A and B are shown apart, each in its own frame.
Chain A
Amino acid sequence: LSAFSPHSPVTSEQIEHLHRRFKQLSRDQLTIRKENFDSIPDLEFNPIRGKIVHAFFDKRNLRQESDGLADEINFEDFLTIMSYFRPIEMNMDEEQLDRFRKEKLKFLFHMYDSDHDGKITLQEYRNVVEELLSGNPHLEKESARSIADGAMMEAASICVGQMGPDQVYEGITFDDFLKMWQGIDIETKMHVRFLTMETIAHCY
């Protein structure tokens, strides 16, 4: 768990909880694959299920220098992903908080940026919005696309300001992404309380 410790404490209790959950998911194997996530019943209803599962296997999130997708992950990797959702601690200083925040936002950024090129292009954004609204049968694909277009225009105006008629907005880079999330305190919202976990939620 050395990869874990610089980002410090998830307590040993929480690790035990997560380990139990990991074993449940992996059916007592040492690693899990994408198929294992199919056994979580509630996840089926989640519109962006694909992206969430993908995030677990994304090598950029697993702090490996390489790129691409892993085929399977072990418990250490599982914990690494979970560490993105740690609650903030009261004794963190400014710098730590900032780093913390950047990490969490990077995780979200990777979920948007599916082709791993460091930019969220219009097509990727459209993809995200379509998935988000996929749960709504009454909505035409057209509307989803125009919403994504509108949002991209907004992003362009926030990040680049006034664009000339010939300028082209390539895509949202990570810095632009940071700018957009400026008003929202993601570090307090993005956490899961590991303390009160129940392994009651069964898998099939």
Chain B
Amino acid sequence: RATSESHLPGSSAAMGTGTPPSPSGTAFEETRLHVFTLDYPHVQIPFEITLWILLASLAKIGFHLYHKLPSIVPESCLLILVGLLLGGIIFGAEEKSPPVMNSDVFFLYLLPPIVLDAGYFMPTRLFFENFGTIFWYAVVGTLWNAIGIGISLYGICQISAFGLTDITLLQNLLFGSLISAVDPVAVLAVFENIHVNEQLYILVFGESLLNDAITVVLYNLFKSFCQMRTIKVIDIFAGIANFFIVGIGGVLIGILLGFVAAFTTRFTHKIRVIEPLFVFLYSYLSYITAEMFHLSGIMAITACAMTMNKYVEENVSQKSYTTIKYFMKMLSSVSETLIFIFMGVSTVGKNHEWNWAFVSFTLLFCLIWRALGVFVLTQIINVFRTIPLTFKDQFIIAYGGLRGAICFSLVFLLPPAVFPRKKLFITAVIVVIFFTVFIQGITIRPLVEFLDVKRSNKKQPAVSEEIYNRFFDHVKTGIEDVCGHWGHNFWRDKFKKFDNKYLRRLLIRENQPKSSIVSLYKKLEIKHAIEMAESGMISKVPSSGSLSDYEGKIKPLSPTEMENMREILTKNLYQIRHRTMSYNRHSLAADAGEKQAKEILIRRRHSLRESLRKTNSLSRERPVLA
């Protein structure tokens, strides 16, 4: 890699044949014009980044070639293995440690896209229903783990046989705090494939997001304590206050920027093409603003994404919405892949110090304290929950507490001056991460099947189901009102009213109060219409005007076209008659298929109504006939 220009002093004679000797015969030789040059340093940084990302993506393709592999071994494991391989190659080739994942790169560039993706597509209703439990696990659980691991490790360090007596209590507590954080990236990577029921998923995943606040606080707290000479009681109170500021501050920044983003998109209807940009810019802005104040960036970006989601969805065009969705998924996928590969690469090298006792007891304590913590906390929180958590649930929650890249980066950030045994910490963290990602990651799927944990049922959405659910919500709210009980439904209702009265009017452009029943119905109607078109039934129907521009037979629609049509119609059903297509640089032309699908839809609704009218009249007439 150390090459630069291939131009060497001697070669100019070979290339430039007619070199006149310099008049004064000095040592200075003129460089001739080069036919071909290689200038690597000029492009080094973008070139390497591109190569890394390309490698990551190619690795991903490789895994999916053998289709059974991703179901047995989660992708994260495979990516770490690839990273290890790469690290080994680099180490072997250059005899020095490969580049360690830069913590700044991780926290500023790689982590935000993943959290944004997760926050944007988070099922908000389920999240808020379980908010108390999630919060409880995140805050108290992490505290419990951190202090428990710290103190027990300190106890182990006191045993002089292990050679660890120079590690102080504070250092142990700091180590405990950074290793107890459940990692959202790892959780996502593993839980993605096993499809447990949504409630369980949201508990583990929500915990991994919310515990960022407490991890940040504890980490900084203990790090400062390690560097301070005396610790006063006031410092501990400062730490507690800091926690509230970090958590609440992060969330507030996120919500504020989320509203600003929603407000901005209200005015973007003339420049649709850059709408997705706003979503990404504002969310990233919330993250780095929070980081600037040392608040919790993860909570900020999550809050921003959740706030933005509802309003932006209604303001942006269909195409922008699709773009946002896909771009977000792409970014987060790339980030995740890179993170795991880097973890593998960074493991190889001379950064390690092995100590059997420390490493094995760390692992043991992590597992024990996690299991104990979940068990004890669940007993307490079950009293307040409407649906108590069973042992199976608790087991999965405890087992799903995976560690990942966050603790990895945090341990690299430790100042070596204050932590002479830093290498030992690094080794221990790596062992724990590998254990959780590999062993727990691989075995969780068979365990879920063995324990017969309730899985998520992805069935076809039905209008009647939506109607039942809504009906039921209202019944429950009504009964709660009769009892005078302020339950979850009460607060949700209140928020909805506030939302409808103020927020939606402010943030959404053409405010039509939406009904989930209606939108679902529209979606399904369109699906029927498209199915009819696909099966060729439409071609037999005599055309009328608008179909005439569609020449010849109907060709079967490709899935993407269908998807497009479906979504466009869902969004614009009420505006179909008002919309006029025009093309200019800032808007995109509509599909030719849209007109046809509109025709299909109207026809379908008529036929449906006809058939039911017939049915109804028949059933009414039957008693007379009988």
The chain A residues found within 8 Å of chain B, CB to CB, are 18, 21, 24-25, 37, 40, 42-43, 45-49, 51-52, 56, 82, 85, 87, 90, 108, 111-112, 122-123, 128-129, 132-133, 136-139, 143, 146-147, 149-155, 168-170, 180-181, 183-184, 186, 188-194, 196-201
Contacts and interface: CB of A to CB of B under 8 A. Distances in A.
A193 B478 contact: no
The dominant DSSP class at the B interface is helix
Given A45-B497, A87-B386, A150-B525, A201 B608 contact: no
A197 to B, nearest CB: 5
9 contacts: A37-B482, A46-B474, A48-B478, A128-B471, A146-B605, A147-B518, A169-B619, A181-B468, A192-B485
B512 A138 contact: yes
Interface residues of B, number: 49
Contacts of A122: 612, 615-616
B67 to A, nearest CB: 29
B387 A194 contact: no
Interface stretch (B119-127, B234-242, B325-333, B457-465): B457-465
Contacts of A123: 616
Given A133-B518, A183-B457, A191 B475 contact: no
Given A43-B482, A168-B619, A183-B457, A151 B497 contact: no
Contact of B463 (A21, A52, A111, A150): A150
Given A138-B513, A146-B605, A46 B467 contact: no
Contacts, number: 150
B622 interface: yes
Contacts of A139: 515, 518
Nearest to B489: A192
Contacts of B487: 192-193
Contacts of A143: 518, 521
Contact of A200 (B484, B609, B615): B484
B484 A21 contact: yes
B608 A21 contact: no
A47 B470 CA distance: 11
A168 B615 contact: yes
In the complex, the 8 A-B pairs of residues with the closest C-beta atoms, listed nearest first: A52-B478, A201-B484, A151-B464, A42-B481, A151-B463, A147-B521, A197-B485, A43-B481
Interface of B: 386-388, 457, 459, 462-465, 467-472, 474-487, 490, 493, 497, 512-513, 515, 517-518, 521, 524-525, 605, 608-609, 612, 615-616, 618-619, 622
Contacts of A108: 471-472, 475
B615 A46 contact: no
A37 B478 CA distance: 11
B480 A192 contact: yes
Contacts of B612: 122, 149, 152-153
B484 A198 contact: yes
B387 A193 contact: no
A198 B470 CA distance: 25
Contacts of A188: 386-387
A150 B521 contact: yes
B615 A169 contact: yes
Contact of A196 (B472, B476, B481, B485): B485
Contacts of A42: 481, 490, 493
